[in-house]
Amino acid sequence: MKAIIFGGTTGMGRAIARRLAERGDSVFLMGLDTDDLVRSAADLTERHPQRAEVGYAVCDLEKPDGFSAALDAADAFLGEFDAVIVTAAMYATQDALEADVDLVRRLVTVNYANTVVFCEHVRKRLLARGGGHLVVFSSVAGDRGRKPVAIYGSSKAGLSIYLEALDHKFNAAGLAVTCVKPGFVKTGMTAGLKPPPFAGEPDQVARDVVDAMDRRKPLVYTPGIWALVMLVIRSLPRFVMRKIGF
């Protein structure tokens, strides 16, 4: 695989980048901060069986004008990428969002509109070269309108539907699309939040995601128990959802 990992300097993205590098795949990182990218690229080179160099480009989901240049840099470094994994996203608590309308605008723009724009750039490039794999992190928070994640969850709901439709429309043309729906996973994004039962670890998610890529699965809940949890949540009637805090 010649894989871009957008968000690969932290959390679940970093765990996936490490897993791919350790098995000898070629890796290119995208992220916000040059120092983090340099450090992470050096760490991945150390882990790679052939000590292969790892490339990187700064890319900000708040600045869609920079998407093409970052993807050009990845193509130049990897000699045309064939897989793109997007873990980058914003998170804020429902309380913080309700107190700050501009934060709402930024979060829904980054997590939905600009992530879709980034994926459209990737889709066009992959289809032009006969196909490839697009893996994007959505969330179980997008499976049902829920009090604690009303706004963040809505941004992920839109993203999940877009990814499902991409799979329906372009699978036959060679584009594999995987929508990843993590439950609660212990990363920087969830630091300070109380872990619920079934909270997962980034390494466990990386195993599930790389396995899903190898099998070209269109949807993966991780840790797997969240598929069952969300099946129950999706089936609850509205009067119950109004009462509970989940």
Ligand X SMILES: NC(=O)c1ccc[n+]([C@@H]2O[C@H](COP(=O)([O-])OP(=O)(O)OC[C@H]3O[C@@H](n4cnc5c(N)ncnc54)[C@H](OP(=O)(O)O)[C@@H]3O)[C@@H](O)[C@H]2O)c1
| 33 makes contact with ligand X (CB under 6 A) | yes
Contact (CB, 8 A) for 134 and 119: yes
Query: Which residue, 10 or 178, is less far from ligand X as judged by CB?
Result: 10
CA within 13 Å, CB half, 38: 3
CB of 137 to ligand X, least distance (A): 4
| Residue partners of 241: CB distance under 8 A and separation at least 6 | 144, 145, 146
Among the listed ranges 3-11, 21-29, 121-129, 219-227, the one in contact with ligand X (CB under 6 A) is 3-11
CA dist 210 and 155 (Å) reads 24
Query: Which residue, 175 or 185, is less far from ligand X as judged by CB?
Result: 185
Distances in whole angstroms, Cα of residue 157 to Cα of each of 41, 113, 163: 32, 12, 10
Partner residues linked to 137 by β-bridges: 180
Site string for ligand X, 152-181 (x = CB under 6 A): ------------------------------
> Which residue lies nearest ligand X, judged by its C-beta?
11
| 182 makes contact with ligand X (CB under 6 A) | yes
| 122 makes contact with ligand X (CB under 6 A) | no
| 226 makes contact with ligand X (CB under 6 A) | no
CB of 135 to ligand X, least distance (A): 11
| 223 makes contact with ligand X (CB under 6 A) | no
Binding residues (CB under 6 A) for ligand X: these are 7, 9-13, 31-33, 60-62, 87-91, 110, 137, 139, 182, 184-185, 187-190
